[in-house]
Amino acid sequence: MIIIGEKLNGAIKAVAQAIKARDNNFIRDLATRQLESRADYIDICSGIPDQDTEVLEWMIDLIQTDHPDVRFSIDSPNPDTILACMDKCRNPGIINSVSLESGKTEKLFPAVAEKKGWNVIALLLDNTGMPTTVEKRMENFDGILAEAQKYGIAENRLFIDPLVFSVATTPEGFLNFIGASKLIRESHPDIHIISGLSNISFGLPYRKAINHAFLIGAMLNGMDSAIMDPLNRDMLGGVYATEALLNYDEYCIEYLSAYRDDLFGVQK
């Protein structure tokens, strides 16, 4: 699994406060802990539209001073912010995100095509709003793929987010998510499939049970990347265990290594 650490998000109250106070140490610590939990990318999202570029550039500078090899997931609704952040990053990262909403791919795909090593998350969304069926997701997938081909972006640089809604309000949401995931996985083995783990449980109690079931169900149906909390040790255990069961981790080498380094928090 390719893990994107979600913790540096202004939607989380403590992070919003740290951003407001420009609390360097809070930000540095959350980045360090996520990297110690072997996050492949650190997602950064300000949640403040009028200071978006400034806040994200501040985080990038801070974190890459401590961790010269860090790769960022630039999480912003504003393509100009994403472009500015790409220039700041020492290492190639991942754009979060494009979609078929007007202007997004036109602005960001040329930068992906030009900048070596950068990857891109594409939401299966267009100007008509959230997709509610498998068919609409696949129509949007075809649209994204056509755009990527136009700019010569290889399929293994694309992370498709089929979008998932809460099971509390959208009873068939998970089935539609995996319906699209399966079709994409079967027809395009090199394309990555990604999701945020927590939308599925919105509005329900004991969210971690639902998030955990989602994680495993989605991994069995082609999801190979997640925006998640790598400090959540139960969830991290689920990731490593499922990878081993699916024979992506021969002889459980990664699982055992994570256990030895106590990433699951169960060592004495």
By CB under 6 A, how many residues form the interface with ligand THG? 19
Residues 99-158 that bind ligand THG (CB under 6 A): 121
> Candidates 29-37, 54-62, 145-153, 193-201 — which segment interacts with ligand THG by CB under 6 A?
193-201
Sorted by sequence, the CB contacts under 8 Å of residue 145 that are 6+ apart come out as 155, 158, 188
Asked whether position 37 contacts ligand THG by CB under 6 A, the answer is: no
Going 241 to 246 to 248 to 252, the CA torsion angle's sign is positive
Candidates 1-9, 108-116, 135-143, 175-183 — which segment interacts with ligand THG by CB under 6 A? 1-9
Give the interface segment with ligand THG, choosing from 2-10, 77-85, 107-115, 259-267 (CB under 6 A): 2-10
* CB nearer to ligand THG: pick between 13 and 260: 13
Q: Is 79 in the site for ligand THG (CB under 6 A)?
A: no
Of positions 64, 198, 201, 225, contacts ligand THG by CB under 6 A: 198
CB of 115 to ligand THG, least distance (A): 19
Least gap, CB of 96 to ligand THG (angstroms): 5
The binder of ligand THG chosen from 27, 38, 72, 75 (CB under 6 A): 75
Among 1, 3, 5, 9, binds ligand THG (CB under 6 A): 9
Q: Which amino acid is at 267?
A: Q
- Residue 199 sits in the site that holds ligand THG (CB under 6 A): yes
226 to 255, contacts with ligand THG by CB under 6 A? 227, 229, 232, 235
Residues that bind ligand THG (CB under 6 A): 6-7, 9, 11-12, 45, 75, 96-97, 121, 161, 195-196, 198-199, 227, 229, 232, 235
